[in-house]
Structure 1
Amino acid sequence: MRIGIVVDSACDLPMNYLHQNNIVLLPIAVRIGQTVLPDQRDEAATLAFLQGPLSDQGAEAETIPYTAEQIRDLFLKQLVTDFDQVFCLTITRTRSPLYDNAVQAGYSILNEYKPIRQAAGFNSPFSLRVIDTQNLFAAQAVSAVEAVRMRDSGATVQQMRERLEQVAGNVHGYMVTRDLYYMRARARHKGDRSVGLFSAALGSALDIKPVLHGYRGETAPVAKIKGFDNAVQTLFDFVGKRVSHGLMTPVVCVSYGGPLDELRALPGYAQLRTTCDAHGVALMEAVMSLTGMVNVGKGAVTIGFADELHTFG
């Protein structure tokens, strides 16, 4: 059986990994003023954006995910003949309409695919499963990597479905951002009051950086640490402890809102890589998507892994 895997632009995996593993991308467009930039997970284009004049207007950007009609068209024109079963892994539905759009598109796809497949010489049924990864950015990528691992190991569709839903409910995402004022401006533009003016001002004045935790569709601060370097080192040290304890899947995904050389130079990162290597855990790094960067700002770090329920610290 030909099993396809579909993710959206916010899923922080390198483009070469997507290509090597035949993962299909649902692009998210980013509109800044009158300019619309398609987020195709092109790292060079994303880094060029950081150096350009539009990056200063990122807090006012509008992200535009594929509509139900666009998803339907992609499947009927290509995917229902390329694959027999597709797993569509979306950014958490609490932060984007993409999951609901994909579910809505699924009804049309499953009602309309038969004559298209028959014309292409396929008489077997086509199946689609939409899974809410319940997380964002690097944490969203954990489910996609597990889907690839299971597909390559010869798992059945039922085994993959059950496992991917289990993993999605146990992925922990963490983020440290450099600029709370940017986060506040972005939140206000989107009508989200979760980062108040006083908190942003206080955090910047004292150089306090919150560590945010994403889990099962919810995001909340779990620590406040003085200094960005101290915050990321504390985060990397904590992730290393969880790796040593034993993860649910053998991967840690990390993304950075800038060149990866800057990520690799951050305090604690080299030790995290050493710990992952020692425990047979892949440390997969990617430039953060354009979609992610306009939401959380330049220089932010996100990291994700599948693990039992735990307390940060």
Structure 2
Amino acid sequence: MKVGLIVDSACDLPHEFIRKHGIFILPLTAKIDNRTFVDDHDPATTQDFYDQGLLDKGHQAETEAFSAEQIRDLFLQKIVPNYDVAICETVDRSRSKIYENATEAMNMVMAQANTVRAQAGIEGNFTMRVIDSKQLFAGQGLLAAYTLGLLEKGLSKNALRHQVETFSQKLWICVVPRDLHYIRERARRRGDKSVSGVAAFLGKALNITPVIWGRGSVGKPAAKTRSMDAAVEKVMDYAVRRIQAGLLTPTVSLSCGMNWDEIEALPGLDRLKQACADNGVELLLSRMGITSSIYIGPGSICLSLAAEDHEFED
């Protein structure tokens, strides 16, 4: 039985990791300055997006999930003929219509899948599940990495779904946005009032850079610093402490909305790499894809790890 893992393009993972494990990317689209980008994590497309400085205009971008019909066609062409079981993990359903559309597409696919397989001379039935990851970006990436480990155990679909959903509740995320004005403008265009104009003004006027921390996609300001570097240092220190205290899975996911030379120069990254090496933890270090970089903004970072309940400053 061949099992395939599908994630949407809001999921941040290293390209080599995606390629190595055969993870299928369900694309989203982004429109900026009358140009449309299909974000399927293609490295060349992502590099072009960064090189042209389009991320600086990301607050003006319109991001859109593929329709149920588009997803259906994609699944029938790429997934049904190649896998017996497919697991599709989507970004938190409150942030995108991708879960809703993928679920609708799944129902349409299930009505046609066996016919498609029979016409292709493939024996056996096809089945799939769509799971709301309740995560964003690096958190989605960490959940996907965990799911790959479960797939190797040959669990039933129901057992797999239960373990994925249970584990998702143990994921913690840190986000450091470089520009609160960017996030405020993005939120305004999306009708999200969670970032106030006052907070954005203070962040700009006083050079306050917050660390947003919490479980899954629900976060709160855990620290306020006077510079991006100071905020990044706090996140790196937090991750090192949690690694030394013991993680629930030996993986940390870190995605960054910047070029690789800037990523490698991040303060505290060397300490994080050393802590991972000393404790047998895999660091999934990636550059943010188009979707997540538009959402959080240029120069931002997102880190995720799995741990028991704790406080940011433990």
**Aligned partners of 2:190, 2:158: CA distance in 1, in Å?**
38
Question: Which structure 2 residues correspond to residues 28-67 of structure 1 after superposition, within 5 A?
Answer: 28-52=28-52, 54-67=54-67
Give the match's secondary structure for 1:174: strand
Q: Deviations over 1:177-222 (max 9, x none)?
A: 1111111111112121222222111112221111112524423322
**Cα drift, residue 289 of structure 1:** 0.8
- 2:100 maps to 100
**Cα drift, residue 156 of structure 1:** 4.8
- 1:222 maps to 222
**Aligned partners of 1:202, 1:80: CA distance in 2, in Å?**
51
- 1:126 maps to 126
- 1:252 maps to 252
Structure 1 residues 158 and 196: alpha-carbon distance in aligned structure 2, compared to 1, 3 A threshold? closer
- 2:27 maps to 27
Is the 1:93–1:217 contact (alpha carbons within 8 Å) kept by the matching residues of 2? no
Structure 1 residues 150 and 35: alpha-carbon distance in aligned structure 2, compared to 1, 3 A threshold? same
Name which of structure 1's ranges 152-161 and 80-89 shifts more when overlaid on structure 2: 152-161
Name which of structure 1's ranges 247-256 and 211-220 shifts more when overlaid on structure 2: 211-220
> In the alignment, residue 94 of structure 1 is paired with which amino acid?
S
Is the 2:173–2:216 contact (alpha carbons within 8 Å) kept by the matching residues of 1? no
Q: Which runs of 5+ in 1 are unaligned?
A: none
**Aligned partners of 2:153, 2:284: CA distance in 1, in Å?**
19
- 2:264 maps to 264
**Cα drift, residue 155 of structure 1:** 4.6
**Cα drift, residue 44 of structure 1:** 4.1
- 2:302 maps to 302
With normalisation by structure 1, the TM-score equals 0.94
- 2:286 maps to 286
Give the match's secondary structure for 1:195: coil
What root-mean-square deviation, in Å, do the aligned CA atoms of Structure 1 and Structure 2 show? 1.7
Size of the aligned set, in residue pairs, is: 313
- 1:83 maps to 83
**Aligned partners of 1:171, 1:217: CA distance in 2, in Å?**
9
> In the alignment, residue 69 of structure 1 is paired with which amino acid?
E
**Aligned partners of 2:226, 2:102: CA distance in 1, in Å?**
41
**Aligned partners of 1:104, 1:154: CA distance in 2, in Å?**
26
**Aligned partners of 2:71, 2:251: CA distance in 1, in Å?**
29
Give the match's secondary structure for 1:99: helix
Give the match's secondary structure for 1:285: strand
> In the alignment, residue 201 of structure 2 is paired with which amino acid?
A
Is the 1:10–1:292 contact (alpha carbons within 8 Å) kept by the matching residues of 2? yes
Give the match's secondary structure for 1:311: coil
**Cα drift, residue 117 of structure 1:** 1.6
- 1:191 maps to 191
With normalisation by structure 2, the TM-score equals 0.94
What's the % identity of the aligned pairs? 37
- 1:115 maps to 115
- 1:239 maps to 239
**Cα drift, residue 129 of structure 1:** 1.1
**Aligned partners of 1:172, 1:285: CA distance in 2, in Å?**
16
**Cα drift, residue 49 of structure 1:** 2.2
Is the 1:176–1:209 contact (alpha carbons within 8 Å) kept by the matching residues of 2? yes
Give the match's secondary structure for 2:295: helix
Is the 1:232–1:267 contact (alpha carbons within 8 Å) kept by the matching residues of 2? yes
**Cα drift, residue 264 of structure 1:** 2.2
**Aligned partners of 2:287, 2:153: CA distance in 1, in Å?**
28
